[in-house]
Structure 1
């Protein structure tokens, strides 16, 4: 009897934690594009618990596209997804200013990890003009440390671009092999990914 119950529990747990199915529907692997031409992309996500993009059940701001040129090294996507599920993206973008400075601007002007970690944890005022940085007591020190490390390394990712959303366009100024990785972290913290490689000439 105990064995039967255990088996049912294990099967239930497995069914409840299947990874999301992420698919880059455009472009296709092997596609060739011209330098300077827009690389249009489209991503679909289906998850047993969270829903499906075709029914507009997925928050598209939780879908990440990482674009790497010629084997460039990207930052840890798991850390970035943690930042996305926190409220980081409400105030910060990758390369453009929102309410707060972009990750690029922070990485270019700051280098003190301990100071940045303190600002994330406790909040701050007057560091970037009159902008108020809210506190994040829900994040532990290890989580904050990984996020700050990712931000400080952003300036070194010269041939990597990041985009949020299920569709859009990327402009590539240089020729080479381009790898697109779409990823989605479901609300059970399970990651799904899809990878497509194209050539820009």
Structure 2
């Protein structure tokens, strides 16, 4: 319960009422988990190789607002795409409640996807190219330093901007996640509440393989405290069209 206190200020018969709301320290604020929904495509839709598939994700959060009103930053919505040659493994992934890797949680808060994608060169190299170059002999500390302090000339003329708000530990977690998780051609990530993705043929394709799409949004927590942030997600699976 909150306590309301009134303060009356008098000056020449004019009264000003100032109301103070004092939070009861015994009351614990509750953060509500965001509701995430993949509105397009639909669960169990069928796909064909080499087709472009539009997608739309909506988010509703009691504290942060609604994506349909522009209250949820599109850059904070992510879509993960995974192909499973074995539909049983796809079904297990759909039901999985595995915690998000710390490295991707750190990426989620940064601007990495402004310049990089997982498999295609954008302004900077793709994450999979970075993984391919450094996977055998990764100098995690040096790569983390490039993220924090910025760099130029390593991947051509494009400049890597600085990220001074990142701790060394967070930067190293990002490096480790990129090296260990972005070289799989059957996994991709997209940012934003809407866009298009190309269904590329998998080198591991099978007749009954499935694509699984997982949309996620991490809310801002209570008073923007990261420790109180909650994750919302929606997961659907898509089947291959019969020729």
With structure 1 as the length reference, what TM-score do the two structures score? Answer: 0.82
The reply to whether residue 30 of structure 1 matches residue 44 of structure 2 is: yes
Contact 1:183 1:192 in 2 (8 A): yes
Residue number among 120, 128, 145 corresponding to 1:104 in the alignment: 128
**What's the counterpart of residue 63 of structure 1?**
77
Matches within 5 A, 1:88-99: 88-99=112-123
Cα deviation, 1:124-165, whole Å, max 9, x if unaligned, reads: 232223333233232122211210011112443221111112
**What's the counterpart of residue 157 of structure 2?**
130
Deviation, structure 1 residue 186: 1.7
Contact 1:69 1:160 in 2 (8 A): yes
Deviation, structure 1 residue 95: 2.5
Contact 2:117 2:189 in 1 (8 A): no
Structure (1 or 2) with the larger CA radius of gyration:
2
Segments of 5+ residues of structure 1 without an aligned counterpart are none
Rate the CA distance shift 1:98–1:177 in 2: closer, same or farther, 3 A.
closer
Distance 1:75 1:46 in 2: 21
User: Between Structure 1 and Structure 2, which shows a larger proportion of helix residues?
Assistant: 1
The reply to whether residue 169 of structure 1 matches residue 196 of structure 2 is: yes
Cα deviation, 1:85-105, whole Å, max 9, x if unaligned, reads: 222223322233333222122
RMSD over aligned Cα atoms: 2.7
Contact 1:26 1:40 in 2 (8 A): yes
Structure scoring higher RCO (CA < 8 A, sep ≥ 6) equals 1
Contact 1:183 1:193 in 2 (8 A): yes
**What's the counterpart of residue 183 of structure 1?**
216
Segments of 5+ residues of structure 2 without an aligned counterpart are 2-23, 222-228
How many pairs are equivalent? Answer: 194
With structure 2 as the length reference, what TM-score do the two structures score? Answer: 0.69
**What's the counterpart of residue 40 of structure 1?**
54
